[in-house]
Chains A and B, each alone.
Chain A
Amino acid sequence: MDTFEAIKATFFQECDELLADLETKLLDLESGAADDETINAVFRAVHSVKGGAGAFGLEALVRFAHVFETLLDELRAGRKPCDELTVRTLLRASDVLADHVAAAQGTGPEVEEARSAALVAELEVLTHGEGGSPAPDEAEDDFGFQPVAFDLPSLDLPSLDLPSPDAPGAPAAGGWRIVFRPHGRMYVNANETGLLLRELGRLGPLEVELDDSAVPMLDRLQPEENELVWTIRLTAPVDEAAVREVFDFVEGDCDLRIEPIAGEGPELPPLIETPDAPADDIDISALLAKVQDEPAAAVTPAAPATSAPAAAAPAASATAPTASSPPAAAAPATIRVDLERVDRLINVVGELVIQQAMLAQRVTESGLARSSGISVGLEDLELLTREIQDSVMAIRAQPVKSVFQRMPRLVREVAEMTGKRVRLVTEGEATEVDKTVVERLAEPITHMLRNAIDHGLETPEERTAAGKPSEGTVRLAALHRSGRIVIEISDDGRGINRERVRGIAVSKGLIAEDAALTDDEIDNLIFLPGFSTADAVSDISGRGVGMDVVRRSIQSLGGRISISSNPGKGSTFTLSLPLTLAVLDGMALGAAEQTLVAPLSAIVESLTPKAEDVHYVGGHDAVIRFREAFVPLVDVARTMGFRDAPVPPGQGVAVVVETESGARAALMVDAIHGQRQVVIKSLETNYQQVEGVAAATILGDGRVALILDVDALVANARRRPAAADLKLAS
Chain B
Amino acid sequence: MTEAPTNAAARELIAFRIGEQEFCVDIMSVREIRGWTPATPLPRAPGYMKGVINLRGAVLPIIDLGARFGLRTSEPTARHVIMVAHIGGRMVGLLVDAVSDIIQLDDGAVQPTPDVASEEVRAFVKGIFALEGRMVSLVDLGLILPPAEAEAA
Q: A640 with B43: in contact, given A687-B59, A687-B90, A687-B149 (CB under 8 Å)?
A: yes
Q: A686 with B92: in contact, given A691-B44, A696-B59 (CB under 8 Å)?
A: yes
**B51: nearest chain-A partner, CB-CB:** A704
Q: Which of B38, B45, B90, B91 contacts A690 (CB 8 A)?
A: B45
In the assembly, what is the distance between CA of A705 and CA of B40, in Å?
A: 7
On whether the beta carbons of B38 and A347 are closer than 8 Å, the reply is: no
On whether the beta carbons of A641 and B40 are closer than 8 Å, the reply is: no
Q: Which of B40, B44, B92 contacts A703 (CB 8 A)?
A: B40
Does A474 count as interface, using CB distance less than 8 angstroms?
no
Does B60 count as interface, using CB distance less than 8 angstroms?
yes
Interface string of A294-306 (1 = CB under 8 A from B): 0000000000000
Does A62 count as interface, using CB distance less than 8 angstroms?
no
Instruction: Please give, as numbers and ranges, the residues of chain B lying within 8 Å of A351 by CB-CB distance.
Output: 56-57
Which residues of B79-113 have CB atoms within 8 Å of chain A's CB atoms? 90-92
On whether the beta carbons of A703 and B59 are closer than 8 Å, the reply is: no
- Stretch of A205-213, A388-396, A649-657, A677-685 with 4 or more beta carbons under 8 angstroms from chain B: A677-685
Instruction: Please give, as numbers and ranges, the residues of chain B lying within 8 Å of A682 by CB-CB distance.
Output: 59
Q: A702 with B54: in contact, given A642-B41, A686-B59, A691-B44 (CB under 8 Å)?
A: yes
Q: Which of A685, A686, A690 contacts B43 (CB 8 A)?
A: A690
On whether the beta carbons of B52 and A704 are closer than 8 Å, the reply is: yes
Q: Which of B41, B43, B149 has the most CB of A within 10 A?
A: B43
In the assembly, what is the distance between CA of A688 and CA of B45, in Å?
A: 10
In the assembly, what is the distance between CA of A691 and CA of B42, in Å?
A: 10
On whether the beta carbons of B52 and A696 are closer than 8 Å, the reply is: yes
Does B30 count as interface, using CB distance less than 8 angstroms?
no
Instruction: Please give, as numbers and ranges, the residues of chain A lying within 8 Å of B148 by CB-CB distance.
Output: 688
Q: Which of A347, A641, A688, A696 contacts B149 (CB 8 A)?
A: A688
Does A710 count as interface, using CB distance less than 8 angstroms?
no
Q: Which of B40, B53, B148, B152 has the most CB of A within 10 A?
A: B40
Q: Which of B44, B59, B152 contacts A683 (CB 8 A)?
A: B59
Q: A706 with B91: in contact, given A681-B59, A683-B52 (CB under 8 Å)?
A: no
On whether the beta carbons of A703 and B43 are closer than 8 Å, the reply is: no
Instruction: Please give, as numbers and ranges, the residues of chain A lying within 8 Å of B53 by CB-CB distance.
Output: 703-704
Does A586 count as interface, using CB distance less than 8 angstroms?
no
Q: A685 with B90: in contact, given A691-B43, A706-B42 (CB under 8 Å)?
A: yes
Q: Which of B44, B54, B149 contacts A704 (CB 8 A)?
A: B54
Instruction: Please give, as numbers and ranges, the residues of chain B lying within 8 Å of A686 by CB-CB distance.
Output: 58-61, 90-92
Task: For residue A589, give the distance in angstroms from its CB to the closest CB of chain B.
Answer: 14
Does A238 count as interface, using CB distance less than 8 angstroms?
no
In the assembly, what is the distance between CA of A340 and CA of B6, in Å?
A: 43
Does B19 count as interface, using CB distance less than 8 angstroms?
no
On whether the beta carbons of B149 and A594 are closer than 8 Å, the reply is: no
Does B146 count as interface, using CB distance less than 8 angstroms?
yes
Does A587 count as interface, using CB distance less than 8 angstroms?
no
Instruction: Please give, as numbers and ranges, the residues of chain A lying within 8 Å of B92 by CB-CB distance.
Output: 686
On whether the beta carbons of B40 and A685 are closer than 8 Å, the reply is: no
Which residues of A223-262 have CB atoms within 8 Å of chain B's CB atoms? none
Which residues of A289-316 have CB atoms within 8 Å of chain B's CB atoms? none
A-B Cβ contacts below 8 A, count: 73
Q: A641 with B90: in contact, given A681-B57, A682-B59, A704-B54 (CB under 8 Å)?
A: no
Instruction: Please give, as numbers and ranges, the residues of chain B lying within 8 Å of A688 by CB-CB distance.
Output: 146, 148-149, 152
Interface string of A624-662 (1 = CB under 8 A from B): 000000000000000111100000000000000000000
Does A350 count as interface, using CB distance less than 8 angstroms?
yes
Does A698 count as interface, using CB distance less than 8 angstroms?
yes
Instruction: Please give, as numbers and ranges, the residues of chain A lying within 8 Å of B40 by CB-CB distance.
Output: 594, 696, 703-706
In the assembly, what is the distance between CA of A705 and CA of B52, in Å?
A: 9
Which residues of A262-320 have CB atoms within 8 Å of chain B's CB atoms? none
Which residues of B17-50 have CB atoms within 8 Å of chain A's CB atoms? 37-45
Q: Which of B51, B58, B90 has the most CB of A within 10 A?
A: B58
Q: How large is the interface on B (under 10, 10 to 19, 20 to 34, 35 or more residues)?
A: 20 to 34
Task: For residue B101, give the distance in angstroms from its CB to the closest CB of chain A.
Answer: 27
In the assembly, what is the distance between CA of A683 and CA of B59, in Å?
A: 6
In the assembly, what is the distance between CA of A639 and CA of B43, in Å?
A: 8
In the assembly, what is the distance between CA of A443 and CA of B146, in Å?
A: 36
Does A692 count as interface, using CB distance less than 8 angstroms?
yes
**A692: nearest chain-B partner, CB-CB:** B43
Task: For residue B132, give the distance in angstroms from its CB to the closest CB of chain A.
Answer: 35
Instruction: Please give, as numbers and ranges, the residues of chain B lying within 8 Å of A704 by CB-CB distance.
Output: 39-40, 51-54, 59
Task: For residue B74, give the distance in angstroms from its CB to the closest CB of chain A.
Answer: 19
Instruction: Please give, as numbers and ranges, the residues of chain B lying within 8 Å of A594 by CB-CB distance.
Output: 40-41
Which residues of B114-153 have CB atoms within 8 Å of chain A's CB atoms? 146, 148-149, 152
Q: Which of B38, B59, B152 contacts A685 (CB 8 A)?
A: B59
In the assembly, what is the distance between CA of A685 and CA of B152, in Å?
A: 12
**B148: nearest chain-A partner, CB-CB:** A688
Instruction: Please give, as numbers and ranges, the residues of chain A lying within 8 Å of B54 by CB-CB distance.
Output: 354, 698, 702-704
Instruction: Please give, as numbers and ranges, the residues of chain A lying within 8 Å of B56 by CB-CB distance.
Output: 351
Instruction: Please give, as numbers and ranges, the residues of chain B lying within 8 Å of A690 by CB-CB distance.
Output: 42-45
Does A42 count as interface, using CB distance less than 8 angstroms?
no
In the assembly, what is the distance between CA of A690 and CA of B42, in Å?
A: 8
Which residues of A570-609 have CB atoms within 8 Å of chain B's CB atoms? 594
On whether the beta carbons of B57 and A698 are closer than 8 Å, the reply is: yes
**B87: nearest chain-A partner, CB-CB:** A686
In the assembly, what is the distance between CA of A656 and CA of B61, in Å?
A: 31
Instruction: Please give, as numbers and ranges, the residues of chain B lying within 8 Å of A692 by CB-CB distance.
Output: 43-44
**B152: nearest chain-A partner, CB-CB:** A688
On whether the beta carbons of A685 and B58 are closer than 8 Å, the reply is: yes
Does A693 count as interface, using CB distance less than 8 angstroms?
yes
**A352: nearest chain-B partner, CB-CB:** B57
**A695: nearest chain-B partner, CB-CB:** B59
Instruction: Please give, as numbers and ranges, the residues of chain A lying within 8 Å of B91 by CB-CB distance.
Output: 686
Instruction: Please give, as numbers and ranges, the residues of chain A lying within 8 Å of B61 by CB-CB distance.
Output: 686-687
Query: 11 new A-B pairs (CB below 8 Å) besides A686-B58, A686-B90?
Result: A354-B54, A641-B44, A686-B60, A687-B42, A687-B90, A691-B44, A696-B59, A702-B54, A703-B53, A704-B40, A706-B40
Closest 7 CB pairs of A and B: A351-B57, A640-B43, A687-B61, A704-B40, A686-B90, A696-B59, A704-B52
Q: List 22 A-B contacts (CB under 8 A).
A: A347-B57, A351-B56, A351-B57, A641-B44, A685-B59, A686-B61, A686-B91, A687-B61, A687-B149, A688-B152, A690-B42, A691-B44, A692-B44, A693-B43, A698-B54, A698-B59, A702-B37, A702-B54, A703-B38, A703-B54, A704-B51, A706-B42
